[in-house]
Chain A
Amino acid sequence: MRLWLIPILPLLGAAINGLFGRRFSRQLVALVALGFCGAAFAWALWAAAKLSGGSYSETIAPWIRAGAFQVNFSFYLDHLSLVMLLVVTGVGFLIHVYSVGYMWEEGGFYRFFCYLNLFMFFMLTLVLGGNYLLMFIGWEGVGLASYLLIGFWFTRDSAASAGKKAFIVNRVGDFGFLIALFLMIRHFGSLNFDQVFGMASRMNPETAGAGLLTTIGLLLMVGACGKSAQIPLYVWLPDAMEGPTPVSALIHAATMVTAGVYMVARSHAIFERAPMALTVVAVIGTLTALFAATIGVCQTDIKKVLAYSTISQLGYMFLACGVAAFSAGIFHLMTHAFFKGLLFLAAGSVIHSIGGEQDMRKMGGLRKKIPVTFWTMTAATFAIAGFPPFAGFFSKDEILWRAYQVSWAYWLIGVFTAFLTAFYMFRLWFLTFFGEYRGEEPRAHGEHGHGGIHESPRVMLVPLVILAGLSIAGGWVGIPGSLGGGNQFERFVGPVFHAAIPAGGGEHGRETARQEREAEGSEPETNAGTELMFTGISVSAALLGLLLSWWLYCKRTELPGRIARAVDGFYEAVLHKYYVDELYAILFVKPLIDGSSKILWQGIDRGVIDATLDNSADGAREVSDTIRHMQSGNLRSYAGWVAAGAAGVIVYMIWIGVR
């Protein structure tokens, strides 16, 4: 069904806009970008309709052939990549539409849409690729597109360096991914998903294969940490908010940063046989969720709050993957794409309406002035906080429940994080939309100013409303059994994760306890009561967060300042993001800069390479300075030299003759 068309269409759009967009009118640029992106979405829908029998793969052409090793241009579609495909194209298309309104007044309009379409191309390659190498190409490509879009306002120094930071931090992760690929080539002789997973699932987890699979799993996780902004490589994502807001929504919330989750879920056959790697995934996810949420509580920049919230939610997804509840992770990925994309777009609409201000302390009382933005943002806020029946509730609850089945510690941290999430999201909500307006009257200045607080144009509001609808209803596809649903989502995506696991366990008798528990978890009626209780706990945690932030930011607005003063040291640390950036600067950046400037530049380049050349030139000059005195121009001295030379030759010959 010509899957390759889906990535190629946005590439065409990028090429047309990139090559000729400078001469196009804004309308035409928008038409090209939206047309090709929409066509990809339509084709994806058509492919979804045609997909039967669980999976479909197609090979376009051989790419690399070296002996028995072969990599093809091949595309692969199953229910997992289908979910990703629809999220990427669907949310991506909505954000394209929104961007037309948001970027209308900006310079470089065609350049923006060229990059945006290019991003779609790489992201779709990543999602649809039928082998790890094609996935890696997409993986690198989205990094490139992310770099270009973060640094879109490249004349601003902070934007340019944020782009660089994102790219460099991602390289660290890509390094791990790449080594994992090399290990696969070395030991499996292939990079195709079916061959690698087939071979991995035939391996006995308790013998030599386990070390290999654990190593590959950990290295893949390093790659996922870079792309999906997990500890310790999360530092680039908050800075990436320097890019235009639609970019933050598309790349740094809805799609690209979830690529790591997708990759881990895709590699489930490897991770399931590497329990240690899974534990690492779960621990990293849990810690990241908690860590980022605590930072989010103190941020004052509306986009930074959302950025830390994204990191925290990605932590949830990794927690789900780490407890082998891959479909719950993907479910959260999908709902997160809806509500976090919406949150960013709505935040962009807020920023747009008040003339480019991003500091929440200078907002307030916007409820009446921008009602559509307010109501859509409300839907997203309730969704991320996990209130039923919004989308985030179902996916987060599913993850927490599955996490509890593995360890109560995961669950406890998860619930506490859910409380923090609700707290900082409602803090954002109250600070932005309630109380009195604290900023100045926006003048017609900066990036977005039109003068006066005003609602955004319709082209921006329509995507907001659609995403709000999805944020409310998107979770209903996965209502768990305990709440009277059938968890269709689990049934839809689940087979992907169970297909590779041998059902009976006859020859693979050593099914881990985790998998047994997982099997147990998929029979909801046995645990329905307990599950309901846990649901109640997580909802009340969210409610507690709502009440606390209402009390602090609506009722007693002087309290937050007093609390901050009471725990001054801790507050300072959180405000400065636990000084992680500073720590990395001391640990890695400074030694690197010092090393390259003192050792490589001053020491080796100046001291060895340059010095060799300079000294040999100096030496040549010294020697010729001395020797040139022979060329005195005095005829008799020349004759003397000739005579001396002749005498020398004669002496030499006599000496030879004597010997």
Chain B
Amino acid sequence: MVPLSYYLVLSGILFACGVTGFLIKRNLITIFMSIELMLNGVNLSFVAFAAHWHALSGQVFVFFVMVVAAAESAVGLAIIIAVFRTRETLNVDQVNLLKL
């Protein structure tokens, strides 16, 4: 059996990759994917704990996260398309209308 710590380390690496991508990437699509990566990193830790403690609530929680993530990606992608249509770019540094 693979020990819990392996899962957690992998989850942490995934989350860190997501954060790093979110911070350094300029393309909106890539940023969006980084967010998904972070969510999945967290999901992995949830199921790992659920399996370790034999508790179902972690797995149930993962379903909630996935549902919300699906809804969020639908809205997010729609926004990205709307942004691209108006700005002709997906570079976040140029999408700064709200900045003073």
Tell me whether A587 is interfacial, beta carbon within 8 Å: no
Stretch of A353-361, A597-605, A629-637 lying at the B interface:
A629-637
Main secondary structure of the interface of A (DSSP, over half): helix
Known: A640-B23, A643-B19, A643-B23. A635 touches B92 (CB 8 A): yes
Q: Does B99 contact A (CB under 8 A)?
A: yes
> Considering residues A635, A639, A643, which has the most beta carbons from chain B within 10 angstroms of its beta carbon?
A635
B18 to chain A, nearest CB (A): 10
Across the interface, A633 reaches (CB within 8 A) one of B23, B24, B92, B96, namely B96
Which B residues are CB-close (under 8 A) to A633?
A: 96, 98-100
A363 to B73, CA, bound (A): 112
- B100 contact set on A, CB distance < 8 A: 633
Cα A640 to Cα B21 in complex, Å, equals 11
Residues of A within 8 A of B19 (CB): 639, 643
Q: How large is the interface on B (under 10, 10 to 19, 20 to 34, 35 or more residues)?
A: under 10
Q: What chain B residues lie within 8 Å of A643 (beta carbons)?
A: 19, 23
Per-residue CB contact flags for chain B residues 66-100 toward chain A (1 = under 8 Å, else 0) read: 00000000000000000000000000100010111
Q: Determine how close the nearest CB of chain B comes to the CB of A649; give it in whole angstroms.
A: 14
Pairwise interchain contact B22-A639, C-beta atoms closer than 8 A: yes
Q: How far is the CB of B39 from chain A (nearest CB, A)?
A: 15
Closest to A635 in B: B92
0 or 1 for each of A627-659: is its CB under 8 Å from B? (1 = yes): 000000111100110010000000000000000
Count of A interface residues, CB-CB < 8 Å: 7
Note all chain B residues with C-beta closer than 8 A to A639. 19, 22-23
**Chain B residue contacts of A640, Cβ below 8 A:** 23
* Chain B residues with CB below 8 A from A635, complex form: 92
Is B23 within 8 A of A636, CB to CB?
Answer: yes
How far, in Å, is A361 (CB) from chain B's closest CB? 82
Bound CA–CA A635/B98 (angstroms)? 10
Q: What 1/0 flags go to B12-49 for Cβ under 8 Å of A?
A: 00000001001110000000000000000000000000
Residue of B nearest to A633 (CB): B99
User: Measured between C-beta atoms, what is the minimum distance from A640 to chain B in Å?
Assistant: 5
Cβ of B22 and Cβ of A636 under 8 Å apart?
A: yes
Measured between alpha carbons, how far is A174 from B92 in the docked complex, in Å? 82
State which residues 48-76 of B face A: CB under 8 Å: none
Q: Which of A171-190 contact B (CB under 8 A)?
A: none
Given A643-B19, A643-B23, A636-B92 contact (CB < 8 Å): yes
A633, B100: Cα distance in complex, Å: 7
Contact B99 A634 (CB under 8 A): yes
Q: Within the complex, what minimum Cβ distance (angstroms) separates A633 from chain B?
A: 4
CA distance A150 to B3 in the complex (A): 102
User: Which residues A150-172 have CB closer than 8 A to chain B?
Assistant: none
Q: Which of A602-636 contact B (CB under 8 A)?
A: 633-636
A193 to chain B, nearest CB (A): 81
Which among B23, B24, B100 has the greatest number of chain A C-beta atoms within 10 A?
B23
Nearest CB of A to B56, in Å: 27
Q: Per-residue CB proximity of A400-418 to B under 8 Å, as 1/0?
A: 0000000000000000000
Nearest CB of chain B from residue A328's CB, rounded to whole Å: 93
With both beta carbons as reference points, the residue of chain A lying nearest to B92 in the complex is identified as A635
Smallest beta-carbon distance B92→chain A, Å: 7
- 4 additional A-B residue pairs with CB within 8 Å, beyond A634-B96, A639-B19, A639-B23: A636-B23, A636-B92, A643-B19, A643-B23
> A residues within 8 Å of B by Cβ?
633-636, 639-640, 643
Ranked 4 nearest A-B pairs via Cβ: A633-B99, A643-B19, A640-B23, A636-B23
Can you list 17 A-B contacts with CB-CB less than 8 angstroms, sorted by A residue number? A633-B96, A633-B98, A633-B99, A633-B100, A634-B96, A634-B99, A635-B92, A636-B22, A636-B23, A636-B24, A636-B92, A639-B19, A639-B22, A639-B23, A640-B23, A643-B19, A643-B23
